[in-house]
Chains A and B, each alone.
Chain A
């Protein structure tokens, strides 16, 4: 399979993530969409790694997976804290980031 297929797949995956982040109101799904975006980037990195025969791309991917794991942990902690404070998962109701 040519490289372009992989890249198109990664781009589609990334766009699905972006749309998920921007449109969904449930904070859990937003977090999942962020994971999707990260993994889309991973697919793209591995594709290039294979195409260029350079392992640095794969190593970079491993780092991203580690960061994504910790990000998920922190994100879930924030979600729990948010629920305790506001009793909601709806992001429209969390609008304190203004004047």
Chain B
């Protein structure tokens, strides 16, 4: 079983290596054999592992490979773990991932960088699987950074387009801000508990070894990381721009999996969050505001993918709202159902774009139902699911979150959530009506909408089935269904919060209210876009200011540009000029001074030191010139001197003695 667990991330990693090394030269348009095959095998392994967890959810599978880092008291294992929480994420990531891979075969067919696409996509799968399977924060962070990298690579996949590469950079930089929070949180966790392994950290939290202040700091920092990754106010700006990437990427990374990593992390760390009521309120508040804020922008967008992008931001807000009011499992439930219907919506949008020859503006669509029936049917099901009309998947998870909010006493968050729900229903049906119904607003001479190939339609159908039944089979009764019972096993060690239970009052009236609101959105969209298509225009003229504000996304990008990007650039410029003038001036001044000093020193060296040395040499040379003459080199001269000397000494000897 451990081997199987490890195989899940390793299989796509192997495909990354092979596709990355051989893809361009050898595999070319057969790259999907490896790409899809490896993910398919990983899905198979994942299903076996998930089955084992379902059979015995009390005992998570732990698969430690080796101690990864150990330095003093700091030690991190290279270890994976599958408990019921990881199992849910594993199912979402592998399941949706596999379908998106299959879809990509059709969607990316003929792209010159076909193998590169699958290399990145598989690398994403590996990173995402490491993220959800890791048994400690550091390994989770490895996956966390990996998916961020892949997100950057895939948003900028068509890097020849300036807007795409800019969007990639934006995503990367904004995520980096969040990651800084994550890193600080990890440091703080280690400082407090002496470990980064989930087991130790949550045990320490359960034993109340972490004070409320520290827990608040840790959880707020973690939430900054989650804000970046899961596109919450104020770090949401990268996600709408991320739509520059290929549509399967938007479906997989920017709707179903990566952006939910923040939610997963918060749910995983719920033992910490439960110690910090302030953080919980922050999470709920940010989530609720994001849900409403993004939904209101989505009301007027005309780019089909941008509507879905803001919708994703909004739905992620719901998930955090759920976590913030204590309904972590409901938040996770919404992650799963959202992965199904939002993945489907994006893939469907991709199919529409494909059919319309790369047209993304809904104002130039309309009446497509006749041409691409398969896409329409599946997208309609997903729309009903996201709008929250029972018994489709989205209803169960969204209603649980809203019910938890009101039952927990968070009336303001509940009202914001309800408003967002109304908007969600409106803008989603607006999308459907503008795209598929009404008159055809494109030029039939130039555009011939055609249905997508089966490799694209089959994933749509499978996701459509999941969008319909994914909520009802595991979500009934609300807040105590199969899903909740299963996931609860991951947290029973450290005191699961008192779960709300389902009662006729107030749950059934709340459900009815949700349904009415969803239907209200649908009806309004019908009035606006089917009954009288001129009505939105009149309304836009009447409330021009509000319309312009929404259309320009509350001018947030402009605000960031004016108050963050430009001051940063300006201060960089100022620092640069300080660098150029002061620092360089000091350095150059030192250089000039050193040169001057060296010149002077050189003169001294040449005339004084060298003069002394050479003078000594010259004196000795001229002195020795006289003595040199004695040395003739002729042996007989030497012998003569010897003989004379001997004679002299002998004479002296004779005279003296």
Contact = CB atoms under 8 A, between A and B. Distances in A.
A and B form one complex: yes
A22 to B, nearest CB: 5
A94 B639 contact: no
Contact of B634 (A18, A23, A94): A94
Contact of B632 (A22, A25, A30, A95): A95
Interface in A28-44: 30
A23 to B, nearest CB: 8
Interface in A44-99: 91-92, 94-99
Interface in B624-657: 628, 631-636, 638-640, 643
A97 B633 contact: yes
B643 A96 contact: no
B404 to A, nearest CB: 109
Contacts of A25: 636
A30 B638 CA distance: 14
Contact of A97 (B628, B635, B640, B643): B635
Contacts of B634: 91-92, 94-95, 97
B639 A21 contact: yes
A95 B411 CA distance: 120
Given A21-B636, A22-B636, A91-B636, A99 B631 contact: yes
Contacts, number: 31
Contacts of A98: 631-633
Contacts of A30: 636
B636 A95 contact: no
Contacts of B632: 95, 98
A40 to B, nearest CB: 14
A97 B636 CA distance: 11
Contacts of B633: 94-98
Nearest to A27: B635
Contacts of B635: 91, 94, 97
Contacts of A97: 631, 633-635, 638
B630 to A, nearest CB: 9
B interface residue count range (under 10 / 10 to 19 / 20 to 34 / 35 or more): 10 to 19
A22 B639 contact: yes
A25 B638 CA distance: 14
Contacts of A95: 632-634
A30 B631 CA distance: 21
Interface of B is mostly: helix
B631 A18 contact: no
A63 B635 CA distance: 27
B555 to A, nearest CB: 96
Interface in B505-558: none
Interface in B14-33: none
Nearest to B644: A22
Nearest to A95: B633
Nearest to B641: A22
A91 B640 CA distance: 14
Interface string A1-34: 0000000000000000010011101000010000
Contacts of B640: 22
Contacts of B643: 18, 22
A29 to B, nearest CB: 12
A22 B643 CA distance: 9
Nearest to A15: B643
B295 to A, nearest CB: 105
A22 B635 CA distance: 9
Contacts of A91: 634-636
A14 B240 CA distance: 122
A82 to B, nearest CB: 11
Nearest to A98: B633
B636 A99 contact: no
A29 B33 CA distance: 105
Nearest to A21: B639
Nearest to A91: B636
A25 to B, nearest CB: 8
A72 to B, nearest CB: 17
A92 to B, nearest CB: 6
A21 B640 CA distance: 9
Nearest to A18: B643
Contacts of A99: 628, 631
B640 to A, nearest CB: 5
Task: Select the residue from B628, B633, B638, B639 with max chain A CB neighbours within 10 A.
Answer: B633
Contacts of A92: 634
A25 B635 CA distance: 11
A91 B637 CA distance: 10
A3 to B, nearest CB: 19
Nearest to B630: A98
Contacts of B636: 21-23, 25, 30, 91
B539 to A, nearest CB: 115
Nearest to A19: B643
A94 B634 CA distance: 6
Nearest to A25: B636
B641 to A, nearest CB: 10
Nearest to A24: B636
Contacts of B638: 97
A99 B627 CA distance: 11
Contacts of A96: 633
6 contacts: A18-B643, A25-B636, A94-B634, A96-B633, A97-B633, A97-B638
Interface of A: 18, 21-23, 25, 30, 91-92, 94-99
Interface of B: 628, 631-636, 638-640, 643
Given A22-B639, A94-B634, A98-B631, 7 more contacts: A21-B639, A22-B640, A94-B635, A97-B631, A97-B634, A98-B632, A99-B631
Q: Closest 10 interchain pairs by CB?
A: A95-B633, A98-B633, A98-B631, A97-B633, A95-B634, A22-B640, A99-B631, A22-B636, A96-B633, A18-B643
